[in-house]
């Protein structure tokens, strides 16, 4: 009987070697070392063995079981590994075919630029304040120190409505008055974004509507030096470290002193090129100290309060920043233009 | 304002390069838009020093067998003279003359240098030697056009020595004589005083510290006195504060001296004749516009109204229906608020704006009445606008010319007429100036300067900066304000704040420190509307829609495309002066905007998913100011997925009503609100949508609808030229964001994560076709309370098995108890209860 064990081991081992996949291997396991398998069942035949031989028989069976188990484990590992092998040649992909992209949406460039500007000023404590597009002539001009027949009215071509006292705002500056009147007598720090309108010929360089972002700070001790510091910091954050900025004198009826802020040209870094019309500088925003009359119209005594204001055009900034040559792209809503801003970072 | 630097140099020393000067002026508020160079390096047509030079003309001789050519012999500084062939008609008068003593000069250009060729469209051409009539010609005497300094090609440049020119020597490089750089300065309203060479010179002096040299205005008056011959009255001194008149007799009209023509051309004025050029020259130099009347014509008129009496000039308001034919030949009807220069016979000119044709200088004019007056700026601005006329004089007067300039301008013009038009100035100046402009003084508090500018300057420094601009400053002490007197050429200084700007400007904006706001931070408020709108935009973009921004100006017709039937247009905010006929009213609808955008993009692609968030401007009949409302509008059409090489095109897989609804649901859900949809009812049923495929949007809890969505009616889609492929409807929605904003919860409330598992069951119900799915779902939730925690529709089935007029709705139900695990018998009981109740409430029965 003991002699037969060697034969059994040899046969079963051979069968193990003959298994081709994990399925056959499992079949083999059930038939041999499984709970009801041939090898397990050998133990039951102990009764047929001479009592003296039983220890040796038992020991031999255990040896066989151990060795088969080990062989099984090895075989299983080998077959698993083989099964995990894939045939790269048979189902190779052309990895250069286009990927399947989800259809993405995106925001309009004006929204993107305005948000960025508003965030920078938001960090400095300037909150967004909104005001209407259709306003009285008084709010758009009169309250801003531009009475009728003021020469500065020539600087802006105004859309009048059929009621001559009502205009489409030519700038967001009128909102300054509303913000001051509302927040008086607290100090003010606001940003006023909004659509503005001017009666111009629509060309690649001028539009009848455009956004403007106005800023206003009013407090007991605000200086022109603060204006410079605040806007220089703004320029640093919007245009990056090391981009030169300069302030030069200018004129707005609602500020005194008034200034224009230029930044060094993106394209030529100040050397002079077509973009900056050979000046090396790009005009970015107008600003100044709030005119005493305007402060008074907002409810603040110019003897005790001072403030600065500034205004800029997000579309102009976007044009300079992104090399947009034609302002008409902004409201033409051509997806071939708008989609490019899905890459705006 | 074009400022030739040589002219500027009459009044102030200019050191440094034109670029440096331009930067200095730009920083001080006189923005130099461009620098144009003539002759020098950087010019479009440079004049090489050894090839283009001043040459003295010695003789002019006939060229044998050529009637139209002459031979000029010139001294150009070389060892020998040179002969130049030219066809210049302005040399013919000198034929055969020895000009050795005449001091007549020309601009000589030698072969190798380039010139603008008038016979080749002004192309820059290099001069090559050639033979003409047997004479070698390797040089030319140039016209202004050929040197690029003017438009004149009637003859060559001929000039004589003058104070306004550098010393002339034969062979002196022409750049040193006629070369120049011209700064083009943007004269914004507050620097109106710089619309003149003198005004700019004052600024240069203040900025560089150089001395400002005001023009000497000597006057040689030796004609018979003006007194008794001319009288001036001003009826409206508030509109015409000053009127200066001089009489110049015996003038001879002709060309003005070349140096004057040259300066005028560089400044952008075309030379015409000595009288006209002098008038323009003085306006540009001093900033004082002036006018010349033909005195003999005035005299003839006076003969009629005064006999032997004097010419009576009266400035007065125009009379009702008064008419005047102005210099430009237009007959104008005047308004009674416009000030005129008149005599008793009628009006002569529109004061400060434009002269009249009847009294203008003609070729025969010998005697001239010169006017230099002051006009109130608002009146001039109004007159220019009313007449639609904009002149150089009107430009200056409407921005303000100080009355003190009138006398200076008059003296300068009269003397130039004497010198360069051969006139004799009548003795006496009529200077009608009934009320002298008051001297403006301002008390300037240095504390205010510090508080506004952030600059810490003491009294002496401040006074010095102001004095550089010719402000008078009383002895400066550090206690008490500075007493500052405004110079009498400035009208723009009203108070201390204006002086702050002057001090900062001259000190240099760039030298003012930059500081961080150290002032009180106001209470931070945030902007709820803005963050809400941002949330809506972000959600829509996340959902794969592209934001657009449209014109807020449109036409009633463009919005009427939303109407299925013709209807009376609603009231609009309408422009009085539209710039283009397709932008005349403020929009009332955002839907029309997105549909227009969809149509314009539809030419390029089938799949469109667009949205806009923006204002609309509904206005009530009779109101001028609209109610401005924030809206969102969405449009979807075409294939649901963008095309891909792997996916077989499935034409049926297009956006439908439920995609649009899903967008609206998501937007509202993302701001913490729930929403209900109902078929439009009553008046709101007349929408641009298909009645059976549209819904009003109502926030959970009721109230006015906050929006509308659905499938566009094909007629409306076609009105917008939106004609997508069959089976692909156009879906749209418009939401009233202001109304939604009112309902946004203050904060999001979080529910605990359940401890006990939920039990799921499916349930299919058969209901009448007309029963809305929403009411079945509501009935289920009501019946299953409180353990039924979720209901999800997963199938809608119609067919024979169900029967006509019915549909089967299959739901996943989820049950959960907060405090224990539910067992089978719990759910069985609930299921029975639910079935009983939904049968009663919505007539639903179980589909077996």
| Reported ipTM | 0.87
- B383 and B236 share one domain: yes
The distance between the two most distant Cα atoms of chain A, rounded to a whole number of Å, is 131
Question: Residue A53 has what pLDDT?
Answer: 82
- A119 and A228 share one domain: yes
- A150 and A191 share one domain: yes
Establish whether the linkage from the previous residue to B711 is cis, with ω within 30° of 0: no
Helical axes B446-453 vs B496-507, angle rounded to 10°: 60
Question: Which phi and psi angles does A254 have, rounded to 5°?
Answer: -100, 5
More confident call, B137 vs B346: B346
Window A:326-345, CB contacts with B under 8 Å: 330-336, 338-339
Contacts of A104 in chain B (CB under 8 A): 541, 544
- A192 and A329 share one domain: yes
- Distance (Å, whole) CA B185 – CA B585: 38
Q: A29 lies in which domain range?
A: 2-84
Model confidence at B790: pLDDT above 80: yes
CA terminus-to-terminus distance, chain B: 93
Residues B150 and B269: beta-carbon distance below 8 Å: no
Question: Residue A88 has what pLDDT?
Answer: 73
User: Which of A161, A288, A306, A310 would you mutate first to test chain B, the one with the most B CBs within 10 A?
Assistant: A161
Asked if B29's CB is within 8 angstroms of A251's CB, the reply is yes
Domain membership of residue B521 (yes or no) is no
- B556 and B489 share one domain: no
Residue where the block lists tokens 């297009």: B654
Domain membership of residue A37 (yes or no) is yes
Among A68, A84, A100, give the residue marking a domain's end. Answer: A84
Asked if A128's CB is within 8 angstroms of B527's CB, the reply is yes
- Distance (Å, whole) CA B241 – CA B378: 13
pLDDT bucket at A104, cuts 50 / 70 / 90: confident
- B733 and B768 share one domain: no
Tokens of B526: 């945030």
Q: Which of A327, A206, A320 is nearest to A265 (CA)?
A: A320
Residues A314 and A114: beta-carbon distance below 8 Å: yes
Compute the mean pLDDT over every residue in chain B, rounded to the nearest whole number.
92
Chain B: give the shortest CA distance to residue A83, in Å: 29
Residue where the block lists tokens 């003959």: A18
Q: What order do you get walking across the sheet with B339-343 strand by strand?
A: B230-234, B311-317, B339-343, B346-350, B354-355
- Distance (Å, whole) CA B673 – CA B409: 74
Domain membership of residue A101 (yes or no) is no
Domain membership of residue B748 (yes or no) is no
Q: Domain total for chain A?
A: 2
- B484 and B616 share one domain: no
For A108, the closest of B192, B544, B548 (CB atoms) is: B548
The pLDDT tens digits of the residues spanning A285-303 come to 999 999 999 999 999 999 9
Domain membership of residue B110 (yes or no) is yes
Window B:252-281, CB contacts with A under 8 Å: none
Residues A189 and A275: beta-carbon distance below 8 Å: no
- B170 and B191 share one domain: no
Greatest mean pLDDT range, A216-220, B724-728, B745-749? A216-220
Query: CATH number of the domain that B172 lies in?
Result: 2.40.50.140
B673 touching A (Cβ < 8 Å): no
Domain membership of residue A102 (yes or no) is no
Domain membership of residue A167 (yes or no) is yes
Asked if B526's CB is within 8 angstroms of A127's CB, the reply is yes
Domain membership of residue A204 (yes or no) is yes
Query: CATH number of the domain that B588 lies in?
Result: 3.30.930.10
Asked if B31's CB is within 8 angstroms of A248's CB, the reply is yes
**Within 10 A of B422 (CB to CB), how many other CB atoms are there?**
15
pLDDT bucket at B594, cuts 50 / 70 / 90: very high
Query: CATH number of the domain that B416 lies in?
Result: 3.50.40.10
Task: Give how far the C-alpha of residue B606 lies from the chain's centroid of Cα atoms, to the nearest Å.
Answer: 39
Question: Residue B146 has what pLDDT?
Answer: 94
Window A:17-76, CB contacts with B under 8 Å: none
User: Which of B443, B496, B501 would you mutate first to test chain A, the one with the most A CBs within 10 A?
Assistant: B501
| B596: closest chain A residue by CA | A333
A149 touching B (Cβ < 8 Å): yes
- Distance (Å, whole) CA A281 – CA B501: 22
User: Which of A106, A225, A314, A343 would you mutate first to test chain B, the one with the most B CBs within 10 A?
Assistant: A225
- Distance (Å, whole) CA A23 – CA A29: 10
The pLDDT tens digits of the residues spanning A114-149 come to 999 999 999 999 999 999 999 999 999 999 999 887
pLDDT bucket at A317, cuts 50 / 70 / 90: very high
3-state secondary structure at position A338: helix
Tell me the Cα Rg of chain B: 42
For A330, the closest of B546, B549, B604 (CB atoms) is: B549
- B467 and B356 share one domain: no
Query: CATH number of the domain that A185 lies in?
Result: 3.30.930.10
- Angstrom CA distances, A26 to A32, A221, B89, stand at 10, 88, 119
- A56 and A138 share one domain: no
Query: CATH number of the domain that B498 lies in?
Result: 3.30.56.10
Q: What is the mean pLDDT of residues B815-822?
A: 90
Model confidence at B741: pLDDT above 80: yes
Asked if B534's CB is within 8 angstroms of A199's CB, the reply is no
Please state the pTM of the whole predicted model: 0.85
| Residues composing chain B | 848
Contacts of B609 in chain A (CB under 8 A): 103, 105
Question: Residue B767 has what pLDDT?
Answer: 93
Q: B85 lies in which domain range?
A: 52-178
B238 touching A (Cβ < 8 Å): no
DSSP B486-545: --TT-----SHHHHHHHHHHHH-GGGS------SPPPPP---HHHHHHHHHHHHHHHTTP
- Distance (Å, whole) CA A122 – CA B534: 15
pLDDT bucket at B463, cuts 50 / 70 / 90: very high
Return the C-alpha torsion angle A18, A22, A25, A27, nearest 10: -120
- A191 and A299 share one domain: yes
Question: Residue B524 has what pLDDT?
Answer: 84
pLDDT bucket at B651, cuts 50 / 70 / 90: low
Tally of CA atoms within 13 A in the half-sphere of B9 that contains its CB: 15
Residues B56 and B82: beta-carbon distance below 8 Å: no
Return the C-alpha torsion angle B291, B295, B297, B298, nearest 10: 80
- B194 and B285 share one domain: no
Q: What is the mean pLDDT of residues B142-165?
A: 90
Domain membership of residue A244 (yes or no) is yes
Domain membership of residue A91 (yes or no) is no
Classify strands A188-197 and A127-128 as parallel, antiparallel or unpaired.
Answer: parallel
- B677 and B787 share one domain: no
Model confidence at B548: pLDDT above 60: yes
Domain membership of residue B520 (yes or no) is no
- Angstrom CA distances, B838 to B415, B788, B843, stand at 108, 14, 6
- B583 and B677 share one domain: yes
Among B369, B397, B432, give the residue marking a domain's end. Answer: B432
The pLDDT tens digits of the residues spanning B749-759 come to 888 888 898 99
User: Which of A169, A333, A340 would you mutate first to test chain B, the one with the most B CBs within 10 A?
Assistant: A333
Q: What is the DSSP letter of A269?
A: T
A127 touching B (Cβ < 8 Å): yes
pLDDT bucket at B682, cuts 50 / 70 / 90: low
| A158: closest chain B residue by CA | B577
pLDDT bucket at A155, cuts 50 / 70 / 90: low
3-state secondary structure at position B793: strand
Question: Residue B650 has what pLDDT?
Answer: 62
3-state secondary structure at position A234: helix
Asked if A331's CB is within 8 angstroms of B551's CB, the reply is yes
Domain membership of residue B302 (yes or no) is yes
Residues B423 and B474: beta-carbon distance below 8 Å: no
Model confidence at B647: pLDDT above 70: no
3-state secondary structure at position A118: helix
Q: What is the DSSP letter of B193?
A: G
Of A106-110, A298-302, B500-504, B753-757, the range with the lowest mean pLDDT is: B753-757
Q: Domain total for chain B?
A: 6
Domain membership of residue B419 (yes or no) is yes
For B522, the closest of A187, A251, A336 (CB atoms) is: A187
- The 3 state secondary structure assigned to A188-220 is EEEEEEEEEECCCCCCCCCCCEEEEEEEEEEEC
Tokens of B192: 């109106």
Question: Residue B157 has what pLDDT?
Answer: 94
Asked if A258's CB is within 8 angstroms of B501's CB, the reply is yes
The pLDDT tens digits of the residues spanning B395-447 come to 999 999 999 999 999 999 999 999 999 999 999 999 999 988 889 999 999 99
Chain B: give the shortest CA distance to residue A279, in Å: 8
Angle subtended at Cα B674 by Cα B672 and Cα B676, rounded to the nearest 5 degrees: 160
DSSP B557-619: HHHHTT-SS--PPPP--BBSS-SSTT--EE-S-HHHHHHHHHHHHHTT-S-EEEEEEEEE---
Q: Which of B485, B493, B469, B470 is nearest to A257 (CA)?
A: B493
B621 touching A (Cβ < 8 Å): no
- The 3 state secondary structure assigned to A4-53 is HHHHHHHHHHHHHHHCCCHHHHHHHHHHCCCCCCHHHHHHHHHHHCCHHH
A156 touching B (Cβ < 8 Å): no
Chain A: give the shortest CA distance to residue B207, in Å: 13
- A167 and A287 share one domain: yes
- Distance (Å, whole) CA B570 – CA B46: 65
Classify strands A127-128 and B32-38 as parallel, antiparallel or unpaired.
Answer: unpaired
Question: Residue A275 has what pLDDT?
Answer: 83
More confident call, B735 vs B119: B735
Asked if A225's CB is within 8 angstroms of B453's CB, the reply is yes
A251 touching B (Cβ < 8 Å): yes
Name the percent of chain B lying above pLDDT 70: 98
Domain membership of residue A148 (yes or no) is yes
Query: CATH number of the domain that B835 lies in?
Result: 3.30.70.380
- Distance (Å, whole) CA B33 – CA B23: 10
Classify strands B346-350 and A188-197 as parallel, antiparallel or unpaired.
Answer: unpaired
Domain membership of residue B77 (yes or no) is yes
- Distance (Å, whole) CA A15 – CA A34: 14
Asked if A230's CB is within 8 angstroms of B516's CB, the reply is yes
- B200 and B249 share one domain: no
Q: What is the DSSP letter of A87?
A: -
- A148 and A200 share one domain: yes
- B258 and B197 share one domain: no
Question: Residue B799 has what pLDDT?
Answer: 87
Domain membership of residue B477 (yes or no) is yes
- A26 and A138 share one domain: no
The pLDDT tens digits of the residues spanning A172-187 come to 999 999 999 999 999 9
pLDDT bucket at B240, cuts 50 / 70 / 90: very high
Q: What is the mean pLDDT of residues B140-168?
A: 91
Asked if A333's CB is within 8 angstroms of B575's CB, the reply is no
Window B:149-208, CB contacts with A under 8 Å: 188-192
- A59 and A116 share one domain: no
Question: Which phi and psi angles does A325 have, rounded to 5°?
Answer: -90, -10
The distance between the two most distant Cα atoms of chain B, rounded to a whole number of Å, is 135
- B259 and B174 share one domain: no
Asked if B504's CB is within 8 angstroms of A249's CB, the reply is yes
- Distance (Å, whole) CA A120 – CA A191: 11
Q: Which of A293, A16, A313, A322 is nearest to A146 (CA)?
A: A293
- A189 and A67 share one domain: no
- A221 and A76 share one domain: no
Tokens of A156: 């802006």
């Amino acid at each position: 009987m003991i002699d037969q064990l060697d034969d059994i081991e040899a046969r079963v081992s051979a069968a193990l070697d003959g298994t081709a996949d994990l399925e056959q291997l499992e079949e083999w396991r059930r038939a041999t070392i499984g709970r009801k398998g041939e090898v397990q069942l050998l133990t039951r035949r102990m009764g047929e063995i001479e009592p003296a031989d039983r220890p040796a028989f038992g020991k031999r069976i255990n040896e066989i079981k151990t060795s088969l188990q080990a062989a099984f484990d090895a075989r299983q590992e080998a077959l698993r590994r083989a099964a995990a092998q894939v045939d790269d040649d048979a189902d190779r992909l052309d990895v250069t075919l286009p990927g399947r992209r989800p259809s993405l949406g995106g925001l309009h460039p004006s929204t993107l630029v305005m948000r960025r500007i508003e965030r920078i000023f938001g960090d400095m404590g300037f909150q967004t304040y909104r005001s209407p597009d259709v306003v009285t002539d008084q709010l758009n001009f009169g309250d801003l120190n531009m009475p009728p027949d003021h020469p500065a009215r020539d600087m802006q071509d105004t859309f009048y409505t059929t009621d001559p006292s009502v205009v489409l705002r030519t700038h967001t500056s009128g909102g300054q008055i509303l913000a001051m009147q509302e927040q008086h007598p607290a100090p003010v720090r606001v940003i006023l974004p909004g659509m503005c309108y001017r009666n111009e010929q629509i060309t690649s360089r001028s539009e009848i509507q455009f956004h403007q972002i106005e800023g206003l700070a009013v407090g007991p001790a605000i200086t022109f030096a603060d204006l410079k510091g605040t806007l220089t910091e703004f320029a640093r954050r919007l245009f990056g470290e090391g981009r030169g900025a300069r302030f030069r004198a200018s004129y707005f009826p609602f500020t005194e002193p008034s200034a224009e802020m230029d930044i060094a040209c993106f394209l030529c870094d100040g050397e002079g090129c077509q973009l900056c019309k050979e000046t090396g500088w790009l005009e970015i925003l107008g600003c100044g100290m709030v005119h005493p009359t305007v402060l008074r119209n907002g409810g603040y005594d110019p003897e005790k309060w001072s403030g600065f204001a500034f205004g800029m055009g997000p579309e102009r900034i976007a044009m300079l920043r992104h090399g947009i040559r034609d302002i008409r792209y902004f409201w033409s809503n051509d997806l071939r233009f708008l989609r490019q801003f899905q890459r705006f970072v | 304002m074009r400022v030739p630097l040589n002219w500027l140099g009459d009044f102030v020393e200019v050191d440094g390069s034109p670029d440096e000067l331009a930067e200095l002026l730009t920083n001080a508020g006189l923005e130099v838009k461009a620098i144009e160079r003539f002759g020098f390096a950087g010019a479009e047509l440079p004049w090489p020093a050894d090839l283009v030079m001043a040459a003295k003309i010695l003789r002019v001789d006939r060229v044998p067998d050529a009637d139209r050519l002459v031979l000029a012999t010139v001294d150009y500084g070389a060892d020998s003279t040179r002969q130049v062939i030219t066809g210049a008609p302005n040399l013919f008068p000198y034929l055969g003359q020895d000009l050795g003593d005449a001091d007549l000069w020309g601009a000589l250009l030698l072969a190798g240098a380039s010139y603008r060729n008038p016979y080749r469209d002004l192309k820059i051409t290099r001069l090559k030697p050639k033979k003409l009539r047997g004479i070698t010609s390797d040089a030319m005497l140039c016209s202004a056009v050929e040197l690029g300094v003017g438009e004149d090609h009637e003859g060559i440049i001929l000039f004589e020595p003058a104070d306004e020119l550098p010393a002339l020597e034969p062979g002196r490089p022409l750049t040193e004589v006629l070369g120049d750089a011209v700064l083009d300065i943007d004269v914004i309203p507050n620097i109106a005083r710089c619309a003149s060479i003198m005004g700019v010179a004052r600024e240069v002096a203040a900025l560089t510290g150089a001395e400002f040299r005001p023009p000497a205005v000597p006057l040689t008056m030796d004609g018979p006195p003006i007194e008794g011959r001319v009288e001036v009255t001003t009826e409206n001194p508030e509109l015409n504060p000053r009127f200066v008149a001089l009489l110049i007799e015996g003038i001879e009209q002709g060309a003005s001296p070349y140096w004057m023509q040259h300066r005028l051309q560089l400044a952008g004025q075309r030379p015409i004749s000595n009288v006209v050029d002098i008038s323009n020259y003085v306006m540009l130099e001093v900033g004082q516009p002036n006018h010349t009347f033909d005195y003999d014509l005035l005299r003839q008129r006076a003969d009629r109204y005064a006999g032997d009496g004097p010419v009576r000039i009266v400035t007065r308001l125009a009379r009702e229906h008064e008419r005047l034919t102005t210099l430009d030949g237009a007959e104008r009807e005047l308004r009674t608020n416009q000030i005129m220069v008149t005599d008793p016979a009628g009006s002569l000119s529109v004061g400060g704006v434009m002269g009249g044709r009847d009294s203008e200088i003609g070729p025969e004019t010998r005697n001239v009445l010169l006017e230099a007056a002051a006009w109130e700026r608002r009146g001039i601005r109004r007159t220019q606008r009313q007449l639609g006329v904009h002149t150089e004089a009107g430009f200056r007067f409407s921005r303000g010319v100080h009355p003190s300039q009138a006398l200076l301008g008059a003296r300068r013009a009269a003397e130039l007429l004497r010198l360069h038009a051969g006139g004799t100035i009548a003795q006496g100046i009529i200077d009608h100036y009934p009320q002298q402009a008051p001297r403006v003084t301002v008390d300037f508090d240095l504390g205010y300067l510090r508080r506004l500018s952030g600059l810490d300057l003491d009294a002496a420094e401040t006074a010095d900066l102001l004095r550089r601009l010719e402000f008078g400053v009383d002895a400066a002490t550090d206690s008490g304000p500075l007493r500052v007197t405004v110079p009498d050429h400035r009208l723009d200084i009203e108070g201390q704040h204006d002086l702050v700007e002057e001090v900062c400007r001259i000190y240099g904006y760039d030298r003012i420190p930059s500081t961080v706001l150290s002032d009180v931070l106001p209470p931070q408020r945030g902007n709820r509307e803005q963050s809400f709108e941002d949330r809506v935009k972000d959600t829509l973009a996340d959902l794969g829609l592209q934001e657009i921004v449209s014109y807020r100006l449109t036409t009633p017709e463009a919005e009427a495309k939303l109407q299925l039937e013709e209807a009376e247009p609603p009231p609009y905010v309408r422009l009085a002066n539209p710039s283009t006929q397709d932008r005349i009213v403020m929009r009332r609808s955002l839907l029309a905007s997105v549909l227009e955008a969809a149509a314009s993009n539809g030419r390029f692609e089938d799949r469109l998913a667009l949205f806009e968030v923006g204002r609309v401007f509904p206005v009530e009949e009779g109101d001028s100011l609209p109610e401005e409302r924030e809206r969102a509008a969405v449009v979807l059409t075409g294939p649901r997925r963008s095309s891909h090489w792997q996916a077989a095109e499935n034409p049926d897989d297009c956006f439908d009503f439920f995609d649009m609804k899903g967008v609206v649901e998501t937007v509202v859900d993302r701001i913490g609100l729930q929403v209900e949809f109902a078929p439009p009812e009553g008046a709101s049923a007349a929408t641009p949508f298909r009645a059976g495929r549209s819904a009003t949007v109502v926030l959970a809890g009721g109230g006015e609808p906050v929006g509308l969505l659905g499938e566009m009616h094909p007629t409306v889609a076609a009105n917008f030229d939106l004609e997508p492929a069959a089976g692909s409807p156009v879906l749209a929605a418009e939401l009233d964001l202001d109304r939604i904003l009112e309902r946004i919860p203050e904060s999001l409330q979080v529910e605990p994560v359940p401890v006990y598992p939920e039990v799921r069951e499916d349930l299919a119900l058969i209901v009448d076709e007309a029963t809305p799915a929403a009411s079945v779902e509501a009935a289920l939730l009501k019946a299953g309370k409180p353990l039924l925690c979720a209901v999800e529709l997963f199938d809608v089935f119609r067919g024979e098995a169900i029967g006509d007029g019915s549909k089967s709705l299959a739901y996943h139900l989820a049950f959960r108890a907060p405090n224990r695990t539910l067992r089978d018998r719990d759910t069985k009981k609930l299921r029975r209860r639910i079935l009983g109740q939904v049968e009663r409430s919505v007539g639903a029965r179980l589909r077996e």
